[in-house]
């Protein structure tokens, strides 16, 4: 089967010792007859391993995020870069990326059968907090449309990335100074967000997250910052948002 016709592989991003965490997703994939590859990512739960420090920039991350990024966030971002690197090195046509706590939705099976992942360089199957242009959507499969963002949504629970998208992400992200969602300007490639969702997340079901507690104190601190009110960019984006729409 040639690279153009073979189905894109499914990568499940997980950590050593997280068998129970990934079990529901793997069971759903197996029941649907979908093969997958486990990608054991960078573990930042007890600090970021020394060998990865040259790949990150904490100072620039602080400027970008208006707070310190946690080791867990850096580890998560590094883990996703391993997928982009695998796509490049193995000559894959693209990849379907699922984090191990992704929540299976029946539409995902239809999505894979329809090869709907070919609709974009970066197709977000799950997302939140994005802003989208008030323009006609692109139908990516029956009952699911793809919307073009002008402010990229958050979440890396589930997305697809083409070979072109993977190369762009890998070549434009280092040293990492932003979270996995997203370490570079994804609006420079064809990016679409699916509506309705194709994959669910634990914010909807109340499940565990490695990053939620880690981020809590930082997010609260960020929310209280008033410096953004002095930024011309803040007011420019506020004006643009009035001309846009949210999906989730």
pLDDT at position 233, please? 65
Alpha carbon distance 22, 16 (integer Å): 11
Alpha carbon dihedral 83, 84, 88, 91, in 10-degree steps, equals 50
Kindly give the interhelix angle for 71-89 and 212-223, rounded to the nearest 10 degrees: 110
What is the token pair recorded at 130?
């994005």
Residues 6+ away with beta carbon under 8 Å from 223: none
Q: What is the pLDDT of residue 210?
A: 60
How far apart CA 187 and CA 173 sit, in angstroms, is: 14
Residues forming a β-bridge with 14: 40
Type and span of the H or E element at 145? strand 144-147
Note whether 81 and 39 are within 8 A (CB): no
Nearest to 173 by CA among 77, 243, 65, 93: 77
How many domains does the chain divide into? 1
Please name the residues in contact with 131: beta carbons below 8 A apart, sequence gap of 6 or more: 149, 150, 151, 240, 241, 244, 245, 246
Residue 3 near residue 162 (C-beta atoms within 8 A): no
Question: Cα(35)–Cα(58) distance, rounded to whole angstroms?
Answer: 37
Residue 1 lies inside a defined structural domain of this protein: no
For residue 3, tell me if it sits in a domain.
Answer: no
pLDDT for position 212: 46
Write down the pLDDT at residue 204: 60
Residue ranges in the chain modelled with pLDDT below 70: 1-4, 204-240
pLDDT in tens, 117-136: 999 999 999 999 999 988 89
In a domain, 130, yes or no: yes
Question: Is 110 a member of any domain?
Answer: yes
What is the pairing mode between strands 94-99 and 37-40? unpaired
pLDDT, tens digit, for every residue of 39-81? 999 999 999 999 999 999 999 999 999 999 999 999 999 999 9
| Surface-to-core class of residue 191, CB atoms within 10 Å of its CB (0-12 exposed, 13-18 middle, 19+ buried) | buried
Domain of residue 15, residue span: 10-245
Can you give the CATH number for the domain in which 132 is found?
3.90.550
């Amino acid at each position: 089967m040639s690279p153009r016709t073979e189905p894109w592989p499914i990568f499940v991003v997980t950590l050593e010792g997280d068998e129970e965490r990934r079990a529901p997703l793997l069971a759903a994939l197996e029941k649907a007859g979908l093969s997958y590859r486990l990608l054991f990512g960078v573990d930042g739960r007890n600090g970021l391993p020394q060998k990865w420090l040259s790949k990150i920039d904490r100072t620039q991350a602080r400027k970008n995020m208006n707070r310190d990024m946690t080791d867990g966030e850096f580890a998560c971002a590094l883990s996703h870069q391993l997928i982009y690197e695998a796509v490049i090195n193995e000559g894959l046509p693209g990849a379907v990326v699922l984090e191990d706590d992704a929540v299976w939705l029946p539409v995902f099976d239809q999505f894979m059968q329809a090869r709907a992942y070919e609709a974009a360089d970066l197709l977000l199957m799950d997302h939140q907090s994005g802003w989208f242009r008030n323009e006609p959507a692109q139908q990516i499969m029956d009952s699911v449309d793809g919307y073009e963002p002008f402010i990229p949504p958050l979440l890396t629970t589930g997305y697809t990335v083409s070979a072109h998208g993977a190369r762009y992400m890998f070549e434009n992200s280092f040293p990492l100074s932003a979270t996995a969602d997203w370490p570079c300007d994804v609006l420079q490639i064809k990016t679409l967000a699916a509506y309705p969702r194709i994959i669910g997340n634990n914010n909807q079901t109340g499940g565990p997250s490695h990053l939620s507690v880690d981020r809590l104190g930082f997010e609260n601190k960020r929310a209280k910052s008033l410096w953004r009110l002095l930024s011309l960019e803040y007011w420019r984006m506020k004006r643009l948002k009035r001309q846009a729409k949210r999906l989730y």
